[in-house]
Amino acid sequence: MASRKHARERRTTVEPPARPPKAKRLAAAPERNNTERDEAVRRRIIRAAAEIYRECGYERAGMTDIARRLGMTAPALYWYFRSKQDILVAFLEHTVADLIQFVRSLVHSNDPKQRLWEFMHAYVLWQLQQQELSAAYERIYALGHLRNSLPEKQRQRITALEQEFYGMCRDLIAGVQGKRERNAAVAFALIGMVEHLISWFRPNGTLSVKQIATLYADLAVAMATTAAEGEKPTRKAAARVLAG
């Protein structure tokens, strides 16, 4: 009995493992908060740069101009980006990455045709709901010398993101019509079709954003299905979609 009692006492008097000082336990939280705050500021800077790219072009988007738009000082802006070229790279990467994330979040179906429909529907939604980014990106893209003037490593990162998005589209088309040589041509046709939306879309027009997204998604499936079936008069398929 005595040995059992002593054993119980030993169990009850075991010291709990030492906890680190409170200051050390809390040290990670401020660091995480600072990182999140810095990232939020970086996103604001990218958005401000996008506004200027869209309105005036890249050449007019100097560090002072961007800082003024944000109500910051130029030295404060340099804390987050070393140069206007760094802001351009961040903008290009952010825009394509945001598009990929948004589209992927809305593609859920297991049916190949429905997945392609969801892809195109999401792509149109992003293009029209994020016009500040998409219009600025289109303007930068049109001036190819800006992209070509970037350092090779940075240009490769942006190209890799663009190829990832293109690959998503191509693979979805392949799911509908099988792996064919024309998968790439259809993918470029669908992507190009959406890229030019912002040139004619008007918020107060007869079609809403969702209606246009639905129309383009229907057209995408019709185009991929027609290519799969080998129909020559592709305009007939498009006409059927447009007729509702």
CA distances from 83 to 34, 95, 118, 132 (A): 22, 19, 38, 21
Say whether pLDDT at 28 is over 90: no
**Helix, strand, coil percentages in the chain from 3-state DSSP, rounded to 5:** 80, 0, 20
Domain boundaries defined on the chain = 84-242
- Percentage of the chain exceeding pLDDT 70: 78
CB-based contact 186:223 (threshold 8 Å): yes
What pLDDT, in 10s, does the model give residues 57-103?
888 899 999 999 999 999 999 999 999 999 999 999 999 999 999 99
Q: What is the pLDDT of residue 151?
A: 87
Q: What is the mean pLDDT of residues 43-62?
A: 92
CATH of 84-242, one of 1.10.3210.10, 3.30.420.40, 1.10.357.10, 3.40.50.11060: 1.10.357.10
Closest CA to 211 of 128, 98, 154, 111: 128
First to last CA, the chain: 89
Q: What is the pLDDT of residue 169?
A: 96
What pLDDT, in 10s, does the model give residues 157-209?
999 999 999 999 999 999 998 877 788 999 999 999 998 898 899 989 999 99
Q: How confident is the model at residue 12 (pLDDT cuts 50, 70, 90)?
A: very low
How many residues are given for the chain? Answer: 244
Q: What is the pLDDT of residue 7?
A: 47
Higher pLDDT among residues 142 and 224, named by residue:
224
